[in-house]
Homo-oligomer: A and B are copies of this chain.
Amino acid sequence: MLLALLDGKAYTANELARAAGITPQTASFHLDKMSKAGLLALLRQGRYRYFRLAGPDVARTLESILSLQHAPSPRQIVSSCPARLRAARTCFDHVAGALGVRIYRALTSRGWTTHAGAQFAVTAAAADFLGELGIPGDTLPVKSTPCLDWSEREFHFAGDFGRLLLQAMLSHRWVLGGKSRQLTLTEAGQRRLAAWEI
């Protein structure tokens, strides 16, 4: 299970059980122990309980152990999400899927958001970025809740900021919506995203 979690993503107890070739009860037993020992972080979201490595130090230690002795690979965890929705979709009122995760990664690595506990907030450093979106600067602080992406198992932006972001991207035609939840990234949107990622 730890090996499966080594990709940094979050997985449910059932998925990890399948990856390790054990029953969900057994997995639950071990996951509970590892959580209490501080190796894993638990994230309750609806009826799902996502587990992920508690931090980069745990990942480093695991890698270190693996460098000594190769362990058998866990069974691959397959996503049940259709590829189209996986790429980009709406999650209630914000962007989800691989696109949502890309945005989250780009903005956090730029320092445009800070997290205080479970709450995220857009920083003053993001003023230009907000202007680009057409969001007036005096709306700061814009709050956000990190939401674990169902298909990607990484975070994307939800909350106020997530809503404003989707609205702006739609109005600039950086993404196109449809009647389904699917989103399509336009060429203009790709250029914009690439600029944020630099």
Residues in chain A within 8 A of chain B (CB atoms) = 37-39, 57-58, 60-61, 64-65, 67-69
Contacts and interface: CB of A to CB of B under 8 A. Distances in A.
Given A57-B64, A58-B68, A64-B65, 14 more contacts: A37-B69, A38-B68, A38-B69, A39-B68, A57-B67, A57-B68, A60-B64, A61-B61, A61-B64, A61-B65, A61-B67, A61-B68, A64-B64, A65-B65
A57 B64 CA distance: 8
A64 B58 CA distance: 9
A65 B68 CA distance: 13
Nearest to A62: B64
A39 B38 CA distance: 26
Contacts of A64: 57, 60-61, 64-65
Contacts of A39: 68
Contacts of A57: 64, 67-68
Contacts of A69: 37-38
A34 to B, nearest CB: 11
3 closest Cβ pairs, A-B complex = A61-B64, A64-B64, A61-B68
